[in-house]
Amino acid sequence: MRENNSDLRWLALGALGGLLLAGWGMLRQTDVGMDLPLSAIASVNDVIISRDSFERARERLGALGEGADAGAELLQRLIDDELLVQRGVELGMTETDPAVRAAIINSIVASITAEADAADPTDEELNEYLETNPERFSYTSKLHVEAWETEFEELAQELVSALRDGGSLPDAADITLMPDLPPGLLETDMLRNYLGPAITAAAADMPEGSSAIFARRGRWLVIRVVARERQAVANVDGIRSRVLMDYRRHLAAGLLENYLENLRERAKVSVTTP
């Protein structure tokens, strides 16, 4: 029992010595008695580390950041980070290192657009945004397509090439127009009955005059979009999340542009012809 007590005392002394050395390591580089503002927890070459920054870092660590020892280690880490940042500036990394420059740009953009990310407009405001930006929320409501079908992929490829190049269409009995497809503009819901939902959705995204090949039920379909008709969404109901995302993106772009405009007005920029 006496031997065990002796071992425990040596372990305790060793742990205490480690803590004293760690504390000395920090005191060696930091003037604890220096006069700091109440909002600061440290100063590194006259650059302030705020208490808010320290608390945010502690929150990110959660339970790992609790306790006096953990707080001292965290503060030392923040001081070391600041020393590394300052050294990077001294070495000109903000001017020459693409990764560093990109990180700075992304950080500034994120801070500027944070207000937009937190925006919570009412349905009335979103409907107003919807009304003033109808082109952002329009959809293909009607399509006029021509459709050919064949069992041979080579014939389908030949037909698509002819349609795209304006050449003569292949004269073959093995590739024919879809006989029951009505001509002219059709509601996309009706077109799905002939082409299926997947091909109809793909055709709705195709430009007028374009052609494409699709496989369906063991056959090949060649689709040419002759004309299309688009319709704007009239109400935010059903697409609120999509409108909100676009609203915030548009707001963020405006905030960033205003910020850049202020920087341009204050800056002296000289350019030459590229």
Total structural domains within the chain: 2
Residue range of the domain that includes 147: 137-232
140, 229 in Cβ contact below 8 A?
A: yes
3-class DSSP assignment, residue 35: coil
Q: What is the pLDDT of residue 191?
A: 93
- State which residues of the chain have pLDDT below 50: 1-29, 33
> Are residues 159 and 228 both part of a single domain?
yes
Residue 207: give its domain's CATH number. Answer: 3.10.50.40
Tens digit of each residue's pLDDT (9 = 90 or more) over 223-241: 999 999 998 888 888 889 9
CA distance 143 to 129: 27
> Are residues 108 and 146 both part of a single domain?
no
Structural domain includes residue 210: yes
Structural domain includes residue 153: yes
CA distance 19 to 27: 12
Predicted TM-score of the model (pTM): 0.57
Tens digit of each residue's pLDDT (9 = 90 or more) over 45-78: 989 999 999 998 888 887 666 776 888 899 999 9
Using the CB atoms, write b or e for 150-163: b if 16+ within 10 Å.
beeeebbebbbeeb
